[in-house]
Amino acid sequence: MSLCKGIFFAPIAAKIHGACFDRGWSEEEFQKLLALPTSRLWMTEEGMLLCSEVAGEMEILTICVLPEFRRQHIAQDLLHELFRYAKAQKVKSIFLEVASDNEAAQKLYAGAGFKQTGTREGYYARKDGAVDALCLTKKV
């Protein structure tokens, strides 16, 4: 697992993301994100983590593992790679939003040391209505 740079990773990222979420991001959306100098992408054949790094902070934009590979510590490994990078870059904090109905992700983040710092009401659209986003932060 390594830091991947360049928009040529967009097709693979879009395929993984699409298999993990009801509304996966398109290849074009990934191209735009990966073209930004602030984007950081870690990828394996089973999953990926995309974040943005600005002014000593990082925001996890998405982390996902293909359904058939879940519960094999791949997401934890991706987070550990991010943490190693963040420490080397002297990043002060990492933050993200997670859906309030995503208990598995909440457990993953809590186990990695993230703490809830806020809530965004109705942030995620769902077929049955919007759900809140929990704002989480980890000091590095």
Q: What does the pLDDT look like over 48-107, one tens digit per residue?
A: 999 999 999 999 999 999 999 998 999 999 999 999 999 999 999 999 999 999 999 999
Contacts of 87 (CB under 8 A, 6+ apart): 140
Report the chain's mean pLDDT, rounded to a whole number. 94
What is 2-139's CATH topology?
Answer: Aminopeptidase (3.40.630)
Q: In the predicted model, is pLDDT for residue 137 greater than 80?
A: yes
Entry pTM: 0.91
Bigger pLDDT: 8 or 122? 122
Mean pLDDT across the stretch 110-123? 96
Q: In the predicted model, is pLDDT for residue 18 greater than 90?
A: yes
Q: Which pLDDT score, from 0 to 100, does residue 4 have? A: 81
Q: Which pLDDT score, from 0 to 100, does residue 55 have? A: 94
Q: What is the rounded CA–CA span in Å between residue 78 and residue 136? A: 17
Q: Which pLDDT score, from 0 to 100, does residue 63 have? A: 96
Q: In the predicted model, is pLDDT for residue 5 greater than 90?
A: no
